[in-house]
Structures are given as C-alpha cells and as structure tokens.
Structure 1
Amino acid sequence: MYPLLRVEDLTIGFPAATVVHEVSFEVFPGETMALVGESGCGKSITAFALMRLLPPGARILRGEVMFDGINLVTAAPRTLRDVRGRTLSLILQEPMTSLNPVLPIGMQIAEVMRRHEGIGKAAARRRSVELLELVGVTDAQRRYDDFPHHFSGGMRQRVMIAMAVACNPKLLIADEPTTALDVTIQAQVLDLLDSLRRQLGMAVLLITHDLGVVAQWADRVTVMYAGRVVEQAPVRPFFASPRHPYARGLLDASVGHDGEAHYTTRRLNEIPGSVASAAFEHGCPFAPRCPVRIDACRLSSPPLVALVPEHRVACIVTAGTEHVPAVG
C-alpha cells in the first residue's frame, strides 16, 4: 500500500532559528497516525506546514510533502486552495477562535461545500444540516442558524468536525482536538472522529501530547522532541517497548498505559531538566536530560535507525551505533 501522505526531511525555520529539523513520516489511507510530544516540540507548526499555512516569518527551508500525488511544498497557490478543505482538512485546537463569531454556524459549513463542490445555497443548507446531525448536534435544522457563542465548547468542536469532513477529505489533520474540553467530552469527540474515519474511509493525523489518547485511538505513533523525530512505531510495540529514552520518560511520567488504555497505580516519575530549544545545534537535544547518555551523544544528532521493521529510533545508545561527525 502506498502512503497517502509522505513527509520527507521537512525543515522549517524563522529568521532567527530553525525550529523543525528533517522530519519524516508517512500516513496511510484509513489509518490514524499520532504525532506526539511536549508543547513546543514542533507538532503544530509541522501540521501547518503540511497545508502551507505557516505563521508570518516562518518558511519551509527544505524537504518534501507529497499528498495524494501532489508536492504541497512547491504547489501553486490555486492548487493549494483546491486541496485545503476538500481532500486535506484541518481541525484547530480552539473552536471559539477558529469559527467566525458573526456568522451562523450552518453558513460556515455550507461555505466549504459551495466553494469546493459548486452546489447551490439550498443544497448546501440541506447537506450542512445532515452533517450537523452526523456529528451529534440535536435539532440541527434549527441550530443551523445559531451563532458560535450559542454552543458549548464540545458542541463547537463538533461543528468544526462537521466543517472539516464536509467534502469527505482523504486526510484529516486534528491538532489537539480536545484541548480545554473535560474528560467526558474529550472521549465523545475522539469516538466521533474515529467513527467518521471508518464511515468516510479517511486517514487521520492526530496531534496530541496525551498518551492515553494515542493508546486508545491511534494505529501508529511518531514522537517528536525539540523539532526532531526521535521514535516511530506501531502503537502496540511502542507501548510495550519504547526504545528512545525520551519516549520511555514520557510513559513513566504519565498515568500507566499498556497500549490498550488500561490504567495502573504505579508511582509516576518526572523527566529531569528543561525542554531543549529546537535551535539546539550540537549533539542529541535530549542528551542533557538523558539517563543513559554517553559522550558521543553530545557530539552528533543521531539519525533514525530501524531496529525492527516499522520501529525506528534516533538514539546512539539504543541503536548501538555511533554516528559521530567531525567537530571543529
């Protein structure tokens, strides 16, 4: 099976620093791939780069983003406008700031279909009502004309999901879709996303820092630290035997998960030290916090190495190799 999305050596920088370094991963049709890491590790800016929606000052320095046969890094603006919202869609973290506060929510959903599918106003309204019903908004016919402030946080997120899937995208990027929602609503939203993934046959790139979410809803996981990919694996092998010291630290610092979201009562541990800057220049960025570091870790940034099929790690100690360039 060929990947629907293939990101290769994606590097993103601001004028003062490079913040994402040679990130590579793939997303296959119909799967959920989780992009995991602490706040500031580069998850969200990577997602925005996939759609060429970077903030002012940021730019893609090198790399390739192949989506459904199109290189989005070099695609013309018109091609990008046709792709965004139609075959590649995005759910943002905070629906209250993402929805237009002065337009009815139904009109905002209908606008996506009118732009990409060229359907009339009445047909777009009917389809919008169906989408609101699909995502669990009760009395959708009446609520079509309500404004975002009439909805709770969980309901606004459902509206955002309805908008994102309006044109049956092939890939949905969900950037922390349960931020600021309580635990019960989080589970409902994630269940909804998974149900829509199966119904519509779409793939999901799930960006999160919550390992419980990853254990229960993802098929594969890519772990980022300081703007770099440090581990990639299917979910079950990852939770059974994380290979990178940072990944092991994340699991030790979270409520215990065994890959099926079962909880344990063990004592939680913390990762010592502070998060490294993405502008870290020499060596492995996790080395100052790593309990198993060796001298070589401070000299080179290790490449991703396949330990077993589908399980890759960027760690000199774990991989048993010392890829040490000359240091001037």
Structure 2
Amino acid sequence: MTAPASLPQRVHITEVGLRDGLQNEPLVLSTEHKLSLARALVVAGVREFEVSSFVSPRAVPALADAAEMVAALREVPGLHLSALVPNLRGAERALEAGVDSMVLFVSASERHNAKNVNRSVAESLEGFEQIARRLEGSGVALRGAIATAFGCPFSGDVPVESVVEIARRFADLGATHLSLGDTTGMATPPLVTERVTRLREAVPELPLTLHFHNTRGIGLANVMQGLALGVDRYESSIGGLGGCPFAPGASGNIATEDLAYLLEEMGLETGLDLEGLIVAARRASELMGRRLPAQVSQAGPRLALSACDAVPTAQG
C-alpha cells in the first residue's frame, strides 16, 4: 500500500521501553534481562533507543544500571543511544557512559515537576543552562522533553502558553529536537492540533516528537492526528510497558508493535519488522511475568490466519 502524499512517507520511532517502560514496574529486571530484550528489538530493526535515565538510583531503582546498559549497547553498531538527565550530575555520568544524546526533561506543570524532580520549572530550566554549556564541543546532542504537555494529573489543563515558553527556552539552549510527553494519557486530537500548530509557529527550527500514553484508549488516535499534521517522529514502548512513578494513573505508553502495525497498514515506512517486534513483545511479557497491554502481539497481524479445523463449528 502506498501512503497518501499528505502524510509523512517515513516515520521514525524511538523505543523507550528500556527507560519509560521499566521505571514504573514493581519487578526490577537484571541488566542481562534488559539486554536480552534490547537485542530482540535490534533484531526487529530498532535503531533508536532511549536507554535509561541517569537519575538517583534511590529515586528510580529500576534504572540504577544506566551506565552498564549504555556500555553494553555501545558495542552494537548503528544504534543511537539517548538517556534522560535531570541535572548536571546526571549529565556528567551520561557523558562518561558515552551516550549519543541527552534528553533534558521538565514538566509544563509546576506541581508535576515538583513531584518528578523536586524542583520548580524555573529551577529545572536554570539547571539546563549548566548542562548545555557542559555539552558544548562534546559531540553529544541535546534534546528537550516536556512532560505533562497535554495536561497534569494534579492541576488539570496545562495552558499551551506554558508549553511554548519552555520550548523557546530549549531552542535557546541549542536543542536539536523537542518531545511532547503525554504523561498520563490526557492528550486528545484537538489538543494535539493546538500544541503542534502553536509550537511550529513559535519554534519552527525544532523538529517535534510525540510521546503518547494509552491511558484512556486513544493513543493511536492521537498518532493519526499527528500524522495528519505531518509529524514524523514518535516514541513508543514495546508491549505497551510504562508509566510515570510520580503521576497517578499513568498507564503504559502506546505499544511499539501496535504503532508499527498501524503505520505499516497505512503504507508508511518505519524500517521495523513487525514479526520481530511481536517476538520482542512476547519476550518482554515473559520477563515481566504477566500479559502486557499491547494488542498486536496478542492477536498477531491482520492476516495472521488460524487453522479452520481448530475452531468448533456451530451446531444446528
């Protein structure tokens, strides 16, 4: 199938399952188990990973092995490895580990930012200036991420002006990309349109990435709206793993295999192998010891057929 000319012909997917997918899970996977999942994703064609977060191990024990994960995946050629950093100390650790890019994250909501990093928005942005100066000449790219960009579980609606103001600060810092995080699944297609439109007016130099959660069941509907607006970068998590430990009700991200299936059926290129993603999702389910919320890895692709003889025939 050929994609409509009005849509992006190729869509870039960043796998965030190793970070956002695992940070909120009660089961802490070993580094080797995480790497087994990462290898399955590489086989499926994934080349861009948000590997971990260089936060305090006390705050997020599941990500205490961030440096080890980067070191191990650094041996795989052709991967782009990014990691979240909350402050200068985290940035120093990420630089030493050898990441390709750092993601500086701040919430558009004061209340959520206080819960997430124990700082005001202004304090977070001030700290980012130190990190940006530290990265000068390092060859490591700086990416901005705005959490609660579509709404906050503590404050409700987040004014688009707050998102725009933070985006401008990231542009001033020299960010190469900007991700809008739907931390608790509060995005809707009209909000997607509003925020994408306003940000393109305010910071046209910053390519946008959309990061949706499926908390209220419309994660892929929001992707469709993003595609209609020409956005060609998305973040997703294998199996639909994920959620924010500092936001109530933050259920899983949109699933990588569900997203890839949608895009494939629309005729859009991703460079990912759907069958391989299904294998990786089943590996994730096995590691977590439970069924994950993704759907395509349960049902299979549209043309995954069943043996007719295996299904009982109605009587009468």
TM-score by length of 1: 0.41
Judging by fraction of residues, say which structure has more helix.
2
Comparing both chains, which one has the higher relative contact order based on Cα–Cα distances under 8 Å and sequence gaps of 6 or more? 2
Look at both structures and tell me which one has the larger radius of gyration over its CA atoms.
1
More strand per residue: 1 or 2? 1
